[in-house]
């Protein structure tokens, strides 16, 4: 059990930049120090920003955004990460003090237990507040991913129309079992591989 410092991860990406109005967004779920039925060892997600690569495909989803959106997305992630890191550091400190509590000193164990219960309560509050504050940015990035997916699908539809196909007909031909499986993919994919370049993953 433990919590990797999320701010350090974000700081390591300080050189991230927009390329032709695009950035790659990568969903990240921080580990929770407090593991119970509410968190199940995971905290609400945030998005890391990565520079698009000239060749190959970066991990994550490329999306369009303005410089202002880029700065806002990064700043919001830092605020969320800093709040989560602080409360996790506080909880670690309280847990260590509780482990050192001496049962033979009157009130020492009781004070340690009270401090632990208090930090557990604050942990839930801080995580909820930080996640709710970040939620509009999380939703904004998800909409940007959806818009990019829709745009890529429309580009594929246009390619298929020029070849006399509809997207639905092409999908049936590519993904249906039988000897014709894998034929008819205008982007060079296979029945078990490409989907014409547009992503199918969700966030």
Instruction: Write out pLDDT tens, residues 50-89.
Output: 998 876 666 788 999 999 999 999 999 999 999 999 998 8
In this structure, are residues 89 and 33 in contact, taking their beta carbons and an 8 Å threshold? no
What are the residue boundaries of the structural domains of the chain, listed by start?
Answer: 6-175
Residue 54: per-residue pLDDT: 73
Q: Is there a contact between 199 and 142 (Cβ–Cβ < 8 Å)? A: no
The 10s digit of each residue's pLDDT in 82-129 is: 999 999 888 888 888 888 888 788 888 888 889 988 988 898 899 999
Tell me the C-alpha distance between 89 and 124, whole Å: 14
Q: Give the CA angle between residues 45, 76, 81 to the nearest 5°.
A: 55
pTM: 0.68
Tell me the per-residue pLDDT of 14-36, one tens digit each, with 9 for 90 and over: 788 889 999 999 998 887 766 55
Asked whether residue 1 carries a pLDDT value surpassing 50, the answer given is no
């Amino acid at each position: 059990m433990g919590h990797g410092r999320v701010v350090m991860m974000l700081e390591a990406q300080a050189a991230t930049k927009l390329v032709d109005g695009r950035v790659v967004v990568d969903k990240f779920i921080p580990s929770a120090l407090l593991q119970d039925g509410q968190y199940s060892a995971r905290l609400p997600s945030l998005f890391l920003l990565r520079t698009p690569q000239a060749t190959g495909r970066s991990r994550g989803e490329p999306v369009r955004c303005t410089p202002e959106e880029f700065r806002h997305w990064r700043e919001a992630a830092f605020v969320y990460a800093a709040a989560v890191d602080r409360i996790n550091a506080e909880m670690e400190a309280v847990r260590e003090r509780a482990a050192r509590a001496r049962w033979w000193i009157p009130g020492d164990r009781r004070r340690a237990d009270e401090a632990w219960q208090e930090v557990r309560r604050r942990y839930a509050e801080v995580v909820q507040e930080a996640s709710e504050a970040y939620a509009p940015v999380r939703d904004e990035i998800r909409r940007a991913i959806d818009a990019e997916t829709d745009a890529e699908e429309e580009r594929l539809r246009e390619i298929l129309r020029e070849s006399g196909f509809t997207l639905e007909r092409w999908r049936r031909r590519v993904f249906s079992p039988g000897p014709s499986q894998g034929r008819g993919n205008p982007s060079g994919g296979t029945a078990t591989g490409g989907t014409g370049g547009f992503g199918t993953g969700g966030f």
